[in-house]
Structure 1
């Protein structure tokens, strides 16, 4: 099973757009196990639109745009990690997490715990805004402490060369490139911008 996990240092940093670009570049299938918030375009819908690739249905679709544990509680359900095991497919599978690594799925389990159980390589997406060094290094330390395999770090936003060097140097992790801010996010503009991402290194980690 060829699975790569796209995780992030925070919510709203462009992880879904990156996942769409990666899904298209790898010729993969996409899966978002837990979706919190259904009022706007969901992450699965956005990836389908931007990648043109198959998208698997979510294991949980929760209406409230909040932490998954809270969204689930509001609907009277509890997220069962056993339902979050990536399915076996013929080709590669891109799995996108929800928010940051420490987002709780239940009152007892974090998303990081589930990612560690999967044993798949992780691409950590980091925004290039102020504070990214702290967020990225903390996230890398958490992934390693949990026993996760790291494919590398992908940066999203304006160029921040010094931050990239510090994160990848101190964090001892591959720099997978940078996805710039796109004025218009379309399948075409994303595919062009994604040329700056080292997809060969990600393939090699599968």
Structure 2
């Protein structure tokens, strides 16, 4: 059993799409410990709608917060205290894909961030999307992970291709590319299945 932690260089860079691809490629289970906002159509619902296999299980959030804000702030509004000790993984014998919230240094309480949720046995996949400043944000993310002793398994580029940006990130970040996702007009089961097949061999080799 392998555990894959999907993190990103920020919000809305494609973590949930990448999570769905990894889930489909490995027929893995999915778990998002903290969901802030969009509870009626959470990332669990999105992943479930995008995958095609019948083996994967969707595991319940540890914290389901009503407000689409940083977890620490959303929890404060809900009168909830997020505790790292409560982040117990769901029981499964299957591979497990764990999706973070926002970027690494998003606070979950007054002491801890998303980074503190990453365990030693997690295979960490970073999702990067091109925009002005994304090189800096991607390299900072990789550096922050390594400064905490976290090994980075690979990176996925999402969105419009930008070869020079991707090349310098791979070189300076000393990270392997798992794959890239084009700027798709539609994201559905067929598209996710296509990328799952493209990424499968590299994911299995991690």
**Pairwise CA distance, 1:195:** 4.0
**Greater relative CO (CA pairs within 8 A, separation 6+):** 2
1:202 and 2:203 equivalent? yes
1:106-125 correspondence runs (5 A): 106-115=109-118, 117-125=119-127
Give the RMSD, CA atoms, in angstroms.
1.5
1:63 and 2:66 equivalent? yes
**Pairwise CA distance, 1:56:** 0.3
**Pairwise CA distance, 1:200:** 2.4
Stretch deviating more after TM superposition (77-86 or 143-152): 77-86
In structure 1, the partner of 2:130 is: 128
Give the alignment partner of residue 166 of structure 2, picking from 148, 164, 167: 164
User: What is the TM-score with the length of structure 2 in the denominator?
Assistant: 0.93
**Pairwise CA distance, 1:39:** 5.4
1:32 and 2:32 equivalent? yes
The whole-number CA distance in structure 2 between the counterparts of 1:195 and 1:92 is 17
The whole-number CA distance in structure 2 between the counterparts of 1:96 and 1:72 is 18
In structure 2, the partner of 1:17 is: 17
1:45-60 correspondence runs (5 A): 45-52=45-52, 53-60=56-63
Deviation string, structure 1 residues 78-127 (Cα, Å, up to 9, x no partner): 11111213234211000000000110010110110111x35311000000
In structure 2, the partner of 1:144 is: 146
Which ranges of 4 or more aligned residues in structure 1 deviate by more than 4 Å? none
The whole-number CA distance in structure 1 between the counterparts of 2:95 and 2:106 is 25
**Pairwise CA distance, 1:67:** 0.3
The whole-number CA distance in structure 2 between the counterparts of 1:112 and 1:139 is 10
- Equivalent residues of 2:2, 2:123 under 8 A apart: no
The whole-number CA distance in structure 2 between the counterparts of 1:109 and 1:158 is 33
- Equivalent residues of 1:179, 1:194 under 8 A apart: no
In structure 2, the partner of 1:90 is: 93
Structure 2: any 5+ residue segments left out of the alignment? Answer: none
The whole-number CA distance in structure 1 between the counterparts of 2:197 and 2:171 is 23
